[in-house]
Amino acid sequence: MKKYLLWIGLLFAAATAWADPPPGYPFVDYNAGLAAARASGKPIFLYFGRYGCAWCDHTNKKTFSDPALKKLYSDHYVLVYVDSESGRRVTLPSGERITEAELGVRLNAFATPLFVYLTPAGEKIVQIPGFKTVQDFRDYDRYVRGGHYKQQTLLEFLGGKS
């Protein structure tokens, strides 16, 4: 049991050493997330953060601290955290191997946090930069899991509200 707890502690320490996902959420790395999404059929919620990012910290404390939002996203998405400055290797659905930092280039990320919704196959549905509220994330969830992205842009779905 002690050994088990030690391993959990080490894994947690390793995770916190790399980046800052919101605490208590079952975030996994990109490769594990893609595999889990294929197996489960759940869409992916990709949190593209940066080590030490103030707006990520603000979003974690202000928005992701909401227990109902935590349940909604933990139950219905595979949660993936990517560190925008990391050299950790990820394999894209195309089979290309790049680093987490290079994923930012491909996403044309200009600010963090950046939130990307992906199909279970890893295809991008929509990406949204910057701080967002609990209600924003509830709206994005309706857009994604409701399948509205197949017919409408996010702005059209939200009725022009950004």
Partner 1 sequence: MRTLALLLAVLAWPAQGAWQWSAPLTVNSVQGAAIFPHLESANRRGVAVSGDTVGVVWEDNRSGSPQCYLATKSAAAANFQQEIRLSQSDCYEPVVIALGAGRFVAAWEEAGKVHARVLPGGATLKLSDIEAAQITLAADGDTIYAAWAEQAGRFRRIVVARLMLKADELDVKTVQPVEAAMPSDEQGWPALALAGDGSVTVAWEDRRNRHTVPMVSHSPDGSGFAAPERLTDHMSGSVDGLGAGTGAMRPALAAWGEQGIAAVWLDKRDFLSGYDVYAAFDTGTRRFGKNVGVQDSFGDNMAQWHALIVGAADGSLVALWDDARDGTPDVWLSDWEGEAFGDNVAVPGAAGPGQQSDPVATLDAAGSLHVVWLDRDEAAGTRIRYARAKRK
Stretch that binds partner 1, among 25-33, 39-47, 98-106, 141-149 (CB under 8 A): 98-106
Based on the shown chain and the rule CB under 8 A, indicate whether residue 55 belongs to the binding site for partner 1.
yes
Based on the shown chain and the rule CB under 8 A, indicate whether residue 147 belongs to the binding site for partner 1.
no
Q: How far apart are CA 122 and CA 92, in angstroms?
A: 8
* 58/142 with CB nearer partner 1: 58
Based on the shown chain and the rule CB under 8 A, indicate whether residue 53 belongs to the binding site for partner 1.
yes
Selected from 50, 100, 103, 116, the binder of partner 1 by CB under 8 A is 50
**Which residue in the block uniquely carries the two structure tokens 């030490």?**
52
Selected from 23, 26, 39, 61, the binder of partner 1 by CB under 8 A is 61
Which of 124, 100, 129, 125 has the alpha carbon at shortest distance from 112? 129
Based on the shown chain and the rule CB under 8 A, indicate whether residue 90 belongs to the binding site for partner 1.
no
CB of 15 to partner 1, least distance (A): 11
Q: How far apart are CA 143 and CA 125, in angstroms?
A: 10
* 72/134 with CB nearer partner 1: 134
Based on the shown chain and the rule CB under 8 A, indicate whether residue 142 belongs to the binding site for partner 1.
no
* 84/118 with CB nearer partner 1: 84
99-138 residues near partner 1, rule: CB under 8 A = 99, 101-102, 105, 108-112
Q: Using H for helix, E for strand and C for coil, what is the string for 112-149?
A: CCEEEEECCCCCEEEEEECCCCHHHHHHHHHHHHCCHH
List interacting residues with partner 1 (CB under 8 A): 13-14, 17-18, 50-58, 61, 84-85, 87, 89, 94-99, 101-102, 105, 108-112
